[in-house]
Amino acid sequence: MSEEKRPAGAELVAGSPLPGEDRLEETLRPTRLEDFIGQDKVKANLRVFIEATRKRGEALDHVLLSGPPGLGKTTLARILSEELGVEIRGSSGPVLDRPGDLAGLLTSLPERSILFLDEIHRMSSNVEEYLYPAMEDFEIDILIDKGPHARSVRLHLNRFTLVGATTRSGLLTRPLRSRFGVECHLDFYQPEDLERIAHRSSRILGIALDREGAGEIARRSRGTPRVVNRLLRRVRDFAEVEGKGVIDGPLARHALERLDVDERGLNGMDLRILDAVVRRFDGGPVGLDTLAISVGEESDTIEEVHEPFLVREGLLKRTPRGRVATLDAFRHLGAAPPGARGPGQDRLL
């Protein structure tokens, strides 16, 4: 991903050592539900489920968190552990290659603890099937020995909560999805919520941020808190080195232009994707793999990171034949749509 992302399989246990930027990112994460800004419906529902779980003294039902990258799925998993007062351990779907990898995690989980699996849609099928009885009956079968002496031993597990996070919920199999009792979908954030996040993070970072500066950062943050915090940290550098230690509107605009983030939040790769569709492929349609080769980026990254924002902004459309640029995309790049050109007219307006 182009956005900052924790390496697959990284432990989520509090207190683990982190490098400088990652440690700073950790300090910006809220640890209580009341401090989590935005996603009001998701928070309200989780508050009910947490309180009911506390009253019954049970493990929380399994939770599926879905939505684009950077919206707070990992943060919500940590908040659940804090609110319930239980331990959280974590891994990711691609890391769990064999059932034995999963068995080691499951058998070591304390009672009512949380197992967080990021990118759960990328879990291999044999590991996924091994997970079913663990989620449903809190039991797993372990094969001992090999050949004619092989035998299966059933182990009982402590009751736990699986919190799965996915950016592509459509890739989850029906049997796996049906075993989650709670499903929460996180949407892109509104600018006013992103401004509140920017102000909260600026207080933690110890940098002065005025309303205009927060608005500039929020508008260019792609509806994503992770991007807000990343841009805020970089704009803070400009404020401390080239400014007066205060992030105001002019300083924010100057810094964000230097960072190649335009007024709508498009970064360099976003613009390369649009430029390829508009100018190289005459507005499309163009297939995803062809587009990926054209801009020198992985197709998965385009599909999971860049496309959701470009589609949401009304700059790109997905069609059965491929990706198509909208009229707004032509206008944003200063290019004339094919039907609007006269004989011999260049594409640039």
Tokens of 94: 């691609």
Q: Which of 53, 75, 89, 118 is catalytic?
A: 118
Integer CA distances (angstroms), 215 to 150, 183, 326, in order: 64, 32, 27
Annotation says 173 is catalytic: no
Rounded to whole angstroms, the Cα distance separating 35 from 79 reads 10
Q: Which of 75, 166, 167, 224 is catalytic?
A: 167
Q: Are the beta carbons of 45 and 80 closer than 8 angstroms? A: no
Rounded to whole angstroms, the Cα distance separating 103 from 219 reads 45
Q: Which of 196, 226, 236, 323 is catalytic?
A: 226
Tokens of 17: 């050592």
Annotation says 301 is catalytic: no
Annotation says 74 is catalytic: yes
Q: Work out the angle at residue 268's Cα, subtended by the Cα atoms of residues 122 and 339, and round it to the nearest 5 degrees.
A: 100
Annotation says 73 is catalytic: yes
Annotation says 166 is catalytic: no
List active site positions: 73-74, 118, 167, 226
